[in-house]
């Protein structure tokens, strides 16, 4: 039987994979290939680096698949602290995963739109490029919607970490800050004209620190349930 400490380390390893695949697909694929307000340049980048674009899509699928055991292991530990709150957090992250997973259809659409299929012959290249960029823009909005739910998840889990004696309270604070930054990031994009988000660069730093801190602690230190001083068993 796997000990609680080793189970937490498995969650940490899975979380590290989630962070790595998420960074790869977002920063090194989507952000690298997409040229804002330039459909033709974006289409050319996707066609030139088609395999990279496909790997980004595959990385996102791995991200969701590996993320599920991470979430369930965290649920396993923190249901001892407050079962109702962790169930609410679980509901938020399941909704987030479903939204972003379905949204992957918009991410893969440019490969279909820019292919050489005969049914696309009625469109001009600039029209196909415009449709391709539109798909990526819709994908970005869908991603932002999903991260709203993940932001609430981080806030709740951060609170539970702070309340419990399972992990250092500072990890709970950092994780809750990451959740708040996710919310600010998404709503800034939704409320800005043209969906511009100048705050992303600044918000990405505390998000990365909050998630990576929890991930590395779980991976290296694990969780020692003997450190419970008091827990709520609901």
Q: What DSSP state is assigned to residue 228?
A: -
Please say whether the beta carbons of 89 and 153 come within 8 A: yes
- 48 within some domain: yes
Note down pLDDT in tens along the chain; length 234 residues.
Answer: 778 889 999 999 999 999 999 999 999 999 999 998 899 999 999 999 999 999 999 999 999 999 999 999 999 999 988 999 999 999 999 999 999 999 999 999 999 999 877 778 888 889 999 999 999 999 999 999 999 999 999 999 999 999 988 999 999 999 999 999 999 999 999 999 888 888 888 999 999 999 999 999 999 998 877 755 444 444
pLDDT of 194:
83
Question: Whole-angstrom Cα distance, residue 132 to residue 129?
Answer: 5
Structure tokens at 165: 């004696």
pLDDT of 228:
58
pLDDT of 234:
41
- 159 within some domain: yes
Residue 80's contacts (CB-CB under 8 Å, 6 or more residues apart) are: 164, 228, 231, 232, 233
pLDDT of 15:
96
- 105 within some domain: yes
pLDDT of 173:
97
Residue 194's contacts (CB-CB under 8 Å, 6 or more residues apart) are: none
pLDDT of 123:
87
152: containing domain: 4-227
- 233 within some domain: no
3-state helix, strand, coil split of the chain in percent (to 5) is 80, 0, 20
Cα Rg of the chain, angstroms:
20
- 173 within some domain: yes
- 80 within some domain: yes
pLDDT of 233:
46
- 24 within some domain: yes
Please say whether the beta carbons of 165 and 230 come within 8 A: yes
Structural domain tally of the chain? 1
- 183 within some domain: yes
pLDDT of 132:
94
pLDDT of 218:
95
């Amino acid at each position: 039987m796997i000990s609680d400490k080793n189970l937490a380390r498995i969650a940490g390893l899975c979380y590290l994979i989630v962070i790595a695949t998420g960074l790869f697909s977002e920063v090194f694929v989507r952000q690298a290939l997409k040229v804002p307000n330039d459909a033709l340049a974006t289409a050319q980048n996707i066609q030139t680096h088609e395999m990279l674009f496909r790997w980004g899509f595959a990385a996102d699928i791995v991200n969701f698949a590996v993320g599920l055991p991470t979430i369930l292991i965290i649920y396993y530990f923190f249901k001892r602290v407050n079962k109702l709150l962790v169930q609410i957090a679980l509901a938020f992250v399941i909704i987030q995963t479903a939204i972003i997973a379905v949204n992957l259809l918009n991410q893969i659409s440019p490969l279909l739109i820019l292919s050489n299929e005969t049914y696309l012959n009625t469109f001009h290249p600039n029209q196909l490029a415009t449709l391709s960029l539109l798909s990526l823009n819709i994908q970005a909005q869908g991603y932002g919607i999903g991260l709203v739910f993940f932001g609430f998840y981080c806030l709740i889990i951060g609170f539970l970490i702070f309340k419990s004696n399972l992990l250092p309270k500072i990890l709970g604070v950092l994780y809750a800050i990451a959740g708040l930054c996710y919310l600010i990031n998404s709503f800034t994009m939704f409320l800005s004209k043209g969906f511009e988000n100048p705050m992303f660069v600044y918000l990405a730093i505390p998000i990365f620190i909050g998630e990576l801190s929890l991930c590395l602690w779980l991976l290296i230190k694990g969780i020692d349930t003997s450190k419970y001083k008091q827990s709520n068993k609901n």
